Amino acid sequence: METQIKSKENFNPRIVAFLCNWCTYTGADLAGVARMKSSPSVRVIRTMCSGRVDPTFVLKAFKMGADGVMIGGCHIGDCHYSEGNFKTLRRVEFLKIMLKDFGIDPKRLRLEWISASEGDKYAHVTNEFEKELRELGPLVLQE
Amino acid sequence: MIKLTIDGKQLEVFEDTSILKAAEKAGIWIPTMCHCDYIEPYGVCRLCSVEVVKGKRSRIVTACNYPVREGLTVRTNSERVKWIRKIIMELMLSRWPNVPAVKEMAEQLGISKPRFESKEKDEAEDACILCGMCVNVCNDLVGKGVLGFSKMGIEREVVLPYNERSEECIACGACAYVCPTKHIKVKSLEYERGAIQDWSLASKTAIYVPTMQAVPRVPTIDEASCINKQTGGCKACQTYCEPGAINYDMKDEEIEVEVGQILITTGYQLMDLTKMPQFGYGRLDNVYSSLDFEHMLNSTGPTNGTIQCKDGSVPRAVGIIHCIGSRDENYHKYCSRVCCMYALKFAHLIKDRTTAEVYQFYIDMRAFGKGYEEFYKRLLDEGVNMIRGKVGEVTECRVDGEKPFLKVACEDTLIGKFREIPLDMVILCPAIESNADSSDLKKIFSISQSPDKFFLERHPKLDPMSTMTDGIFIAGCAQGPKDIPDSVAQASGAAAKILSLISVGEVAVDPIKAEIVEERCSGCRICNNLCPYGAISYIDEKKISFINDMLCKGCGTCVAACPSSVITGKGFTDAQIMAEIEGLLAI
């Protein structure tokens, strides 16, 4: 018990973020340009559209030791590719059910709509996610 | 053509011309009180009576509705005609002795006092003289027929049906316009109830040139108030337009043009000042928006460029309030950028053209551009009163025996006191905001908006005129509030970017495309419906799906969905992303 608490204190979550090129990735860029403090735990992978995020990427990330996965896309109706984010929304809902079966808390997967102008939202969301993961503790996968 | 003689003058006129018109052409004046060009001749005042001679016989006819005949001889000034006119005029003058139009006409005919008294004397200055022009204009021109005559003889009068407000009346004001005695007045019920305030600087007709600087400088029709648009009648402007340039059937058209690049410079709108009622815009007299005041300063504007209050007096003190709706947590958080400088310009012009005291109420003076700070310093030397602080409200004060004035309540943060300043005129500087329909435009061009609703540039520092969508550029206030030099610079930059692409003649297409490995495609067709661009089609003979390279935009939605993983996204293949994940999580 004691060791677990200790490890929680020193715990720095590892977050893999799949960000769409047009909205969230640019929003993250804006957060940087505007010198907003966003979570350093986030490791970003750029995709052209959030619709490109194959559920296997998310599973792979968890398997490789990510404590949380975030998918960022354009707001519904604002997708650069018209409707890619609708598909993401659908997939993520299914994926969350699947994660539960795998013994992974669905809270560890987060889907966010952040537009290119919402640098502050990006900073806020990543900081919040990091905090949430700190409370959840490191992801332990059962064999 | 018909030849006739009027007062010994030979002239030739078209068929169906009235004697009145023919005489007008010959430069002969015939008095009339019931005729105008908008309506069919009515012949009710009888003043235009003339003597028509045919052979040995002569008759008295009304010139306005008597058409010309071949070989006609007309006398407009014979003793007989003069005698008849005199009686008609005396009858009119005895009944309506104080109506200016009647008095004027009597004077022109050399009658100062009627020989007889009328039993039905109406001494009002705006009495109805029963000329019937209002009735006819409503019938002939407007096509509504709201007004009519009732009763007969001495009791004849112009009335509305059942003496009630007519549902048919479109309040066009044509009757009031033609009324020679101003007996008819147009009343706005909304105005009387206080729902609409008449605060505009000048009235205008339904067809007007927006501003003297308008490009192209052609008149435009205000469809909401044009009589033709409501009843199909009138067409007065068309009648008078010699080149025949007015076409009422013209409609908005949708024109399809194929272009390779688009520059969006849709500009801005000013904030609706009635949203902030504490400043009294639209409620109090002499409270103007900066655009209204600019209109007033214009030498072709409603006051010919003189600065004056609504009652025509020169203001003793003018206040200019900055940041109405800008830098305000409740409205727009951003600075509108141009107000400080134009407010200073206003102050300079007020000082230049009047002796008024000028007060500037500002939060911060932002004289940011080249030469701007110097101008600000110059204004301080001119003696403009600068008050640093936000204005709470503008109210109207009335003191007995004096004309009402405006009182501005504000905080002067430099002396730390609450102040109330009496002014004759207040100018508000409303915030610049993005157009109300900018969200629709955003959807059409699939570009983004920043939280302040202005269009978002690709990069705030390195690419301020491109957007995320290739070939779409933005410039000017559509991108954010800015002054003229900045707009010119940005638009020139955007134009140069566009030209550079045109001169190359070819466009580099993003190499990011999806590709199907034909041999392994099972032909399940899951991907077919996913593509928002319809780039994926199914080839029946081969029983596989096929991606059209030119239609594919490379979003990768199909790549993620393919159950056999045979669609690969160039630059973003499964293997590449997996490797990225592994790399990211290696440490």
CATH topology of domain B514-586: Alpha-Beta Plaits (3.30.70)
- Cβ neighbours, 10 Å, residue B6: 25
Chain B contact present for A86, CB below 8 A: no
Residue of B nearest to A58 (CA): B581
- Which of B367, B269, B375 has its CA nearest to residue B325? B269
- Cβ neighbours, 10 Å, residue B17: 17
The verdict on a CB contact (< 8 Å) between B581 and A45 is yes
Where in chain A are the domains?
A: 12-141
Where in chain B are the domains?
A: 2-108, 132-247, 259-508, 514-586
The verdict on a CB contact (< 8 Å) between B555 and A80 is yes
DSSP for A14-61, written as a single string? -EEEEEETTTHHHHHHHHHHTT----TTEEEEEES-GGG--HHHHHHH
The verdict on a CB contact (< 8 Å) between A26 and B468 is yes
Contacts of A47 in chain B (CB under 8 A): 556, 572, 577
Confidence of residue B498 (pLDDT cuts 50, 70, 90): very high
Q: Which of B446, B448, B574 sits opposite A117 (nearest CB)?
A: B448
Q: What is the pLDDT of residues B266-294, one digit of tens each?
A: 999 999 999 999 999 988 889 999 999 99
Pairing of strands A15-20, A42-47: parallel
Q: Which of B451, B574, B577 sits opposite A117 (nearest CB)?
A: B451
Structure confidence at residue B490 (pLDDT): 96
Contacts of A81 in chain B (CB under 8 A): 532-533, 553, 555, 557
Distances (CA, A) of B467 to A73, B221, B449: 18, 36, 10
**What residues are paired with B473 via a beta bridge?**
B263, B466
Q: What is the mean pLDDT of chain B?
A: 89
| Cβ pair B324, B430 in contact under 8 A | yes
CATH number of B259-508: 3.50.50.60
The CATH number, out of the four listed (1.10.1220, 3.40.50, 3.30.70, 1.10.1740), of the domain defined by the range A12-141: 3.40.50
The verdict on a CB contact (< 8 Å) between A91 and B554 is no
The C-alpha R_g of chain A, in whole angstroms, comes to 15
Q: Tell me how far apart the alpha carbons of residues A18 and B20 are, in angstroms, rounded to a whole number.
A: 86
Please report how the helices B290-297 and B339-353 are oriented relative to each other, as an axis angle in degrees rounded to 10: 40
Cβ contacts of A121 within 8 Å, gap of 6 or more:
A27, A112, A114, A115
Structure confidence at residue A111 (pLDDT): 95
Confidence of residue B188 (pLDDT cuts 50, 70, 90): low
Which residues on chain B place their C-beta less than 8 Å from a C-beta of chain A? 443, 446, 448-451, 456, 460-461, 468-469, 512, 530, 532-533, 553-557, 559-561, 569, 572, 574, 577-578, 580-582, 584-585
- pLDDT of B168 > 50? The answer is yes
The helix (H) or strand (E) run that includes residue B491 is: helix B484-504
Q: Tell me how far apart the alpha carbons of residues B281 and B459 are, in angstroms, rounded to a whole number.
A: 38
Most A-contacting residue of B448, B456, B509, B510 (CB-CB within 10 A), to test interface: B448
Contacts of B585 in chain A (CB under 8 A): 14, 16, 43, 61, 64-66
Contacts of B512 in chain A (CB under 8 A): 48
Confidence of residue B189 (pLDDT cuts 50, 70, 90): low
Q: Which of A45, A52, A56 sits opposite B555 (nearest CB)?
A: A52
DSSP-assigned letter for residue B431: P
**What residues are paired with A124 via a beta bridge?**
none
- pLDDT of B202 > 70? The answer is no
Confidence of residue B411 (pLDDT cuts 50, 70, 90): very high
Residue of A nearest to B452 (CA): A117
| Cβ pair B63, B30 in contact under 8 A | yes
Q: What is the token pair recorded at A15?
A: 């977050």
The verdict on a CB contact (< 8 Å) between B460 and A16 is no
Q: What is the token pair recorded at B276?
A: 């902030």
Q: Which of B446, B560, B580 sits opposite A53 (nearest CB)?
A: B560
The verdict on a CB contact (< 8 Å) between B448 and A116 is yes
DSSP for B514-540, written as a single string? EEE-GGG-----TGGGT-TT--EEEET
Structure confidence at residue B195 (pLDDT): 47
- Cβ neighbours, 10 Å, residue B293: 25
- The arithmetic mean of pLDDT across residues B497-514, rounded, is 88
Q: What is the pLDDT of residues B345-398, one digit of tens each?
A: 999 999 999 999 999 999 999 998 899 999 999 999 999 999 999 999 999 998
Share of chain B above pLDDT 70, in %: 97
Q: For B107, what's the count of Cα atoms within 13 Å in the CB-facing half-sphere?
A: 8
Q: What is the pLDDT of residues A33-85, one digit of tens each?
A: 889 999 999 999 999 999 999 999 999 999 999 999 999 999 887 788 878 89
The verdict on a CB contact (< 8 Å) between A117 and B582 is no
Q: Tell me how far apart the alpha carbons of residues B542 and B549 are, in angstroms, rounded to a whole number.
A: 18
| Cβ pair B482, B338 in contact under 8 A | yes
| Cβ pair B307, B427 in contact under 8 A | no
Q: What is the mean pLDDT of chain A?
A: 89
DSSP alpha helices (H): ranges in B11-78? 19-26
Phi and psi at A53, nearest 5°, equal -70, 105
Confidence of residue B401 (pLDDT cuts 50, 70, 90): confident
The helix (H) or strand (E) run that includes residue B295 is: helix B290-297
Cβ contacts of B112 within 8 Å, gap of 6 or more:
B106
- pLDDT of B112 > 90? The answer is no
Most B-contacting residue of A43, A49, A67, A115 (CB-CB within 10 A), to test interface: A49
Distance from CA of B365 to the nearest CA of A (A): 25
**The residue type at B272:** D
Question: For residue B514, how far is the Cα from the chain centroid?
Answer: 51
- pLDDT of B320 > 50? The answer is yes
B-facing residues of A in 40-69 (CB < 8 A) are: 43, 45, 47-49, 51-57, 60-61, 64-66
Q: Which of A54, A65, A118 sits opposite B574 (nearest CB)?
A: A54
- pLDDT of B472 > 60? The answer is yes
What angle is formed at CA B291 by the lines to CA B288 and CA B294, rounded to 5 degrees?
95
**What residues are paired with B4 via a beta bridge?**
B11, B72
The verdict on a CB contact (< 8 Å) between B585 and A54 is no
Contacts of B577 in chain A (CB under 8 A): 45, 47, 54, 57
**The residue type at B520:** R
Output the furthest CA–CA distance in chain B (Å, rounded).
124
- Cβ neighbours, 10 Å, residue B210: 11
Structure confidence at residue B197 (pLDDT): 47
| Cβ pair B275, B331 in contact under 8 A | yes
Q: Which of B451, B555, B584 sits opposite A49 (nearest CB)?
A: B555
- pLDDT of A1 > 50? The answer is no
| Cβ pair B113, B14 in contact under 8 A | no
Q: With the C-alpha atoms ordered B346, B351, B356, B357, is the resulting torsion angle positive or negative?
A: positive
Does the domain at B2-108 match CATH 3.30.499.10? Answer given as: no
Q: Tell me how far apart the alpha carbons of residues B96 and B6 are, in angstroms, rounded to a whole number.
A: 32
Structure confidence at residue B192 (pLDDT): 54
